Structure 1
Amino acid sequence: MNSYLKTQTITTTLEPPTGDKFQLAAILPLVKPTRESTNDIPITLHLSKVGADTPLGCYVYSIYDNKNKEVYQTLLNNGEETLVDLTKKIGLLVSKKYGIPTYVSMSGSWSLEDLISTVKLIVDFIDESY
């Protein structure tokens, strides 16, 4: 079976307790990933505060190394410094939590204050999707 057939695509709008609501488009494996299993299907997340008709903001690929328990990242599309920091941090945390590669992109105006509530909403959303 092709790996793209083993995924689900979900879109939603999330509203943090502080800050502006944002749109999330997620491509998730059908089976919930764990660090103990072999995970070859990545989680893909796109977060946008400005809607669908915007240029791609920052885009980061993260991969979890089970052997060394580290996350390695590469920047696929650059953006403003705060946006790069947030995108890399979200990719790192999601990859580390699930032991799975991630693609994370963000568009719009984000601040460092958005990080904690955004990560919590994303992790809760992923967990509730299974």
Structure 2
Amino acid sequence: MAKKSGGPNKSQAIRDYYGANPEAKPMEVAAELSKKGIVVTPAFVSTVKSTTMGKSAKKSARKSAKKSAPSVKKSSKGAKRGRPVGSTNKATAASNEVSLDSLLQVKKIVEEMGSVQDAKNALTALEKLMG
């Protein structure tokens, strides 16, 4: 089945309008084209404008945006945020120091005591005695 002719090329109409009116907003373009019988949405106008804009226009738009944006003051030393390299959390360091043999011995004690909670209670009592 042959494709039906779709009428005027909407994208070309948008490009032509922007050629004559480069400062026009998408709402204006959509309104003017709808008066001519070409129904387009402002979103479609924006899409066509952004895809047809050349690299030089994009670069100049970026440059003007950079000039108008307030500058962010950077520290002179470029200090990095966060914890220093090589420092570790105390809990992490403590858990890394336990050997496999120690864990196996603790496991045997827990099995003898009956549960982990009972072993914790015994350790708390021992800590008070030694404390």
Q: Flag whether TM exceeds 0.5 (same fold).
A: no
> Rg larger in 1 or in 2?
2
Higher strand share: 1
Normalised TM-score (structure 1): 0.22
Higher helix share: 2
Normalised TM-score (structure 2): 0.22
Higher relative contact order (CA 8 A, sep 6+): 1
